[in-house]
A = this chain, B = another copy of it.
Amino acid sequence: MADIKPVQNSIKAEMEYFEDKFSQLMKSQVFLLDSVMRYIVKRKGKQLRPMFVLLSAKACGPIGEPTYRGAALIELLHTATLVHDDVVDDANYRRGFFSINALWKNKIAVLVGDYLLSRGLLLAVDHGDFELLRLVSRAVREMSEGELLQIEKARRLDITEEVYFEIIKQKTASLIASCCAVGAASAGASAETIDKARLFGEQAGMAFQMKDDLFDYGEEEIGKPRGIDIKEKKMTLPLIYALQQADWLEKREIISIVKSNQPSKKQVQKVISFVSEKGGISYTQEVMKHYVESAKQTLATFADNESFQALSTLVDYTIERNR
């Protein structure tokens, strides 16, 4: 198990400075908005994205104010998409807390998401960080396009691996790619190094999403609930691969469960067992590890030894975490 503690300690002061800056940014004169913002700050997550920004900056030069602004911009965008996602999925919980839509209704959640997006935009515009905007704005587009591509394609039961990779590249990897590119750029890296950092982030982000998709098939004993993707008819790599290995009869049975509107607990378990038996879990783990290896190879082309260690550990952590 990758020990993330030493990495966290190595940028403890920087992360604290970032979090302080982020809280300041979230203040608002509008009382209602300020209440929501304080709640969001309180229930913060693992902060992986700011860590990718800070560590990528460190790999390329000194961390400075532009680095912190980059991390804040990305965290604002990420938070905005989470708030909107919970509306979209009608989710009542996020990270063990109530979601914004659960506490304040959809109306407010949609507007708060828009506010967070614009807050990030303004932060960059006010400081003339146009390179930062350029690096990030493509990710914003790709994320919403990726989610829509997923809605369109991932419920088609004949989805191919290629389409799956395209979806996770857009909806998840593009933002982590931007984290690393922004970090590198903020520390004065060359265009070539920024491109390498982006590729590293993209590869790490692909692995990150595969790990998330594996949770749904109960790879780990503890942690996230299982079978959610199945109930939502969302086809991810473990199931896509397993179906390829199945004969016509098995395929028909599994597909009829996934297609049904409210599969029973037993039926969901049936799909989970099927995926495991057909090697869907181990295949996805293999591909995920392949992306991690590629990420490390890319990382080695621009990071010194210390930064290589820190970012490698962060990548290992993203695929070994149990939540």
Contacts and interface: CB of A to CB of B under 8 A. Distances in A.
A87 interface: yes
Contacts of A115: 141, 144-145, 148
A186 to B, nearest CB: 17
Interface string A94-126: 000000000000111011111101110110011
A145 B30 contact: yes
A293 interface: no
Given A84-B114, A115-B141, A125-B134, A148 B106 contact: no
Per assembly, the copies of the chain total: 2
Contacts of A306: none
Contacts of A137: 118, 121-122, 125
A148 B110 contact: no
A57 B151 CA distance: 41
B32 A114 contact: no
Contacts of A119: 141
A118 B118 CA distance: 10
Contacts of A133: 121, 125, 133
A140 B128 contact: no
B111 A88 contact: yes
A260 interface: no
Given A110-B110, A130-B128, A152 B32 contact: yes
A144 B115 CA distance: 5
Nearest to A130: B130
Of A30, A32, A112, A149, the most chain B CB neighbours within 10 A belong to A30
Interface string A221-258: 00000000000000000000000000000000000000
A87 to B, nearest CB: 6
A33 B121 contact: no
A148 B112 contact: yes
A307 B133 CA distance: 35
Given A125-B133, A125-B134, A137-B125, A148 B108 contact: yes
B87 A110 contact: yes
Of A89, A128, A137, the most chain B CB neighbours within 10 A belong to A137
Given A30-B149, A110-B87, A110-B110, A144 B130 contact: no
Nearest to A85: B110
A149 to B, nearest CB: 5
Given A107-B151, A114-B140, A115-B148, 9 more contacts: A32-B149, A84-B111, A87-B87, A87-B110, A88-B107, A110-B110, A110-B113, A115-B141, A125-B130
Smallest CB-CB A-B distances: 10 pairs: A118-B140, A32-B152, A115-B144, A118-B141, A114-B144, A88-B107, A125-B137, A121-B137, A122-B137, A33-B148
